[in-house]
Every structure is written in C-alpha cells, then in structure tokens.
Structure 1
Amino acid sequence: MTAGRARTYWLVGASSGIGAALVDRLVAGGHRVVISARRQAVLDERAARDPERILALAADVTDLDSLARAWDGMLDRWGMPDSVILNAGDYEPMGLADFDPTLFERLMRVNFLGAVNGIQVVKDGFIRRGAGEIVLTASVAGYRGLPYSSPYGASKAAMINLAESLRPEFAREGVAIRVINPGFVRTALTDKNDFPMPGRIEPEDAARRIAAGLAGRGFEILAPRGFGYVMKVLRLLPYRMYFAITRRMLREPGQ
C-alpha cells in the first residue's frame, strides 16, 4: 500500500476470502481495522493476533439492528472510521434448469440489501462530519449478464448502479462512495464453479490491488485490471455480438 497517514477502516465481511486477506494487508500497512462478520469467534481469533490494530465486532448485514449495534460499539471504543468497506457477499451458480426465486432472494438480501443496510447505518454520521468513504464490493459480473450467474450478477449490477446513483449526492456532502469490482478470485465461493475462470488470482493478490486502490480516490477499483478491462470491452458490444459470445459459454443439457 502506498505511504500515507494511518486510517481506521470498518471492514464488513472480514472473516474469509478477499475480506480476510484485505484485513492482513491493511494491518500490515499500519492501519487500524474494525472487522465484522457473523461469527464472533472467528473474528476474535484474528483480532488476537493484532489486538492493537484490530477490533472485532460481529454483525449480520441482513439485520439492520445488528449492523447498528456494531457501529455504535465502534463509535464507543474507537470513534468514527475513515472508511467503511461493505464486503459481505454470497454466491451460488444457477442454470435455467435450476431456476429458483429463493436463491435470487438470498443473494439480493446479502449482496445488495446488505450494502443498503450498511449505507443506512453510516451515512448520517459521515454527512454530519462532512467526510468519509463508503466502499461497496461488487463484481465485474455486474457489468453484463453471464450464463449461470443470473442471481449473483443481478445483485452485483444493482450494487454498481446503487453506487453510481448515490455518488453525486454523497460527494456534495463531502463523502465518497466507491466500488471494488473483483474478477475471479480463488475463494470458497468461486470453488463452486465448474468452468474455466480466466485470470483467476489469489485472495492475497486481490487484497494487494484493492489496498493500492483504496489509497487513491478513483470511483472503481479493479482486481485484477486485465480481466476487468476485458469485461469492460464486452459491456460495449452490441447485443447481437454479445449474445453470440455468451451462447458459446453454454454447457450441453445435462452436463
């Protein structure tokens, strides 16, 4: 991470995958991190390794009151953070043969409405202070619809749209809202995929790239950039060309 003043982060979704790797990276960069996830025991285990720099407060993004209690606990002990990273996420691939509205509801509750709950909890404090940063972990899967990822992709597209919509008003109040758009990162979630994942990187590599992006001020942080740029190009294609590409991604029925 580039040199600069030490900051205080609240990282929600910190117990595994990209979140856990990012905690390590931020702490190594000299920052303090309030870590939140649903399992307090897992958080306590991580905090015990760096008790001066990590504060563990359990929270469930699908429960607004749970997030509010964690926020109040942080304010009581460490004060208001400089940056809030809403990283909690869920993923499950789904093909048309397994179409399931309950899966859409589950992923939207965690990925999208979880971010909405997080914004609700922190926005008034940041606006009163006239400073702060809210960072949403979305995905390049939110750029355009991809086969077998409609519940996940829809939730991530909603997050990107949310950040884009709110950014001008937040900026007027002195508050930044930004998005992290990872590509394929090796985690327990992407291990569910049974297809080739181009450009897949390790969580530590993603965390390094994200931490470098957090040190800047850009709206979007890509991790990695290469695959992100490929997805940006696909986003520009007319539908006829785009659907010709995505049809090639389909598996034979029964596979």
Structure 2
Amino acid sequence: MNDTSPSQTGRLAWITGASSGIGKAVAERLVREGWRVAVSARSAEKLQALAEQHAGRVFAFPLDITDRDAALATADAIRAAHGPIDLAIFSAGTYKRDSVRRFDARDLATTMNLNVVGTANTMEAVIPDMIARRQGEIAVIASVAGLVGLPGGGFYGASKAALNNLCQALYPELEREGVRLRIINPGFVDTPLTKKNDFPMPFLVSSDEAADAIVSGLKTSRYEIIFPWKMAVGIKFLAALPKNLLFRFTRRMLRKPG
C-alpha cells in the first residue's frame, strides 16, 4: 500500500476483529484517510454502530472467522456489494494467560483455532481473487510475543509464532503473484484483551497509537511492521540471545505459582 491519502477514495479495505481494539482503531484511521472499509467481527451490534457512525464509508459484515465457509462467503459478499478488496487486515484474535499448573491443551486448541486457523480462513477468502487480479495487499496482525517464548504466554505466543512463520513462507510466493504480504508485530496495546493482564506492561500504547503505527507502516515497503520501537529492540535482543542467557532473563519473569 504505497498511498493511503484521501485521493484513494475508491479503494476498499476489509478488517477483521474490527469491533474493538486495534481493528476498530485502524478502521477509523483508514476512513479518515479516505478509504471505504468493510468490517467484520462476531459482535454484529458493535459493527453496526461503527457502520452507522461512518455511514457510507464503513460496512458491517459480521463473521466468526473460525467458520471457514462463512469466511469465504463473507469475502464474496463484500466483493459483490462493494467491489474488489484492495487491502485485507486480519486483526481478529484471542488471548488467555497460561500456566504449567493449569496446563490445558484445550486452551491451546482454542487459541490456535482462532488466531491461526481463523486467520488462514480469511486469508483463503482473499488470496485467489488477489492473485487473479495480480494486485492486493494482506496484513496479518501477530505480536512480538511470537518472536520469543515468554512465561505465561506460551499458548498465545505459539499462535503468533505460527503466523510469523506462515507469512514468511508465503511472502515470496505471493510476491511472485503480484500480492503484497505484511506481518504486524505490536507490543502491548491497550485493548480489551490486554485489560485482562494483572502485571506491568512495558511501553504500553493506545489503540489509536497502534493504528497510527500500522497505517504509517503500510505506506512503506517494509515486510514487518513492529512497534513500539523500545519493545521491538528488547524482544529482538532476547530472541538473539543463546538460550542459556535467554532463560536467565525469562526466569525473572516468573510469578509465584498459583
């Protein structure tokens, strides 16, 4: 996406996870920059309120991304009503802190099904059309948690690591087909999901600040959009450490068993 200026009034974006948090903030930012935006999430009521707030610019398409058939049908419905999808931003996801004393593989399955398989469902819904047109852009929102394993975030981090790996694998193929792919790795963002945390979150940014970073990043040629920079530096440093040194740091993150 080389230009998100108001002159791009004819372009259409599709954003999942758009009823709150990062997805909603990005949708509102794109509207201010002249985009038409189709928004999806499970909460039809919240989507409709957003669409009414931006009448004629935002269009509500409720969706549970874990339903593959529904994801494919939703993308078809968006294209039929509003034309080709130029930019897809896949933001829907879930988070639950984990612990070895409460280790439950069902929680991992739920997280992976929504964060990874659900995202893949929506990717499948746009990739064939973008390849056929040899144009389009996909941005997948993962997390810095996917770059290094951190205590208490094993399930969530595993899902975001999977998205990072998946996008790295798909990037050369999609590039050859004329489709641009990005990975977005935010640090802590003040959203309904992070409000569950009962521990200090360093370098916390607001949803609006995250949206600014994402939309600004999409105007560049970068594959990875990672922010805030202090968190990015810290995580990249940890990920580059030999494992014995990494574990010296992560042991300090351990909380009392409970």
- Return the TM-score normalized by structure 2: 0.95
Cα offset for 1:222? 1.4
Alpha-carbon spacing, 1:35–1:231, altered in 2? closer, same or farther (3 Å): same
User: Conserved in 1, the CA contact under 8 Å of 2:164 and 2:183?
Assistant: yes
Tell me the equivalent position of 1:134: 138
Residues 1:109 and 2:127 aligned together? no
Unaligned runs of 5+ in 1: none
SS in 2 for 1:179: strand
How far the C-alpha of 1:223 sits from its partner, in A, is: 2.7
Aligned with residue 173 of structure 1, among 174, 177, 181: 177
Q: For residue 29 of structure 1, report the CA deviation from its aligned partner.
A: 1.2
Structure 2 CA distance, aligned partners of 1:206 and 1:234? 22
1:43 aligned to which of 43, 47, 50? 47
After superposition, what is the alpha-carbon deviation per residue over 1:175-225, rounded to whole angstroms, capped at 9, x for unaligned?
Answer: 111111110011111111121111011111111111111222211111322
For structure 2, the residue ranges without an aligned partner over 5 or more in a row are none
- Residues of 2 paired with 1:23 and 1:131: CA distance? 21
- Which residue in 2 is equivalent to 1:192? 196
Structure 1 residues 17 and 98: CA distance shift in structure 2, 3 A? same
**1:118 Cα deviation (Å)?**
1.1
For these two proteins, the number of residue pairs brought into alignment is 254
The match for 1:52 is: 56
TM-score under structure 1 length normalisation: 0.96
Counterpart mapping for 1:1-255 below 5 A = 3=5, 5-6=7-8, 7-254=11-258
| SS across alignment from 1:48 | helix
Shift of 1:115: 1.3
Kept after mapping to 1: 8 A contact 2:85/2:126? no
Q: Deviations over 1:16-56 (max 9, x none)?
A: 11111111111111111110011222111110111221111
Runs of 4+ in 1 over 4 A off after TM superposition: none
Which SS does the other structure have where 1:181 is aligned? strand
Q: Among all aligned residue pairs of Structure 1 and Structure 2, give the percentage whose two residues are the same amino acid.
A: 43
User: What's the CA shift string for 1:75-103, capped at 9, x where partnerless?
Assistant: 11111111111110100001111101011
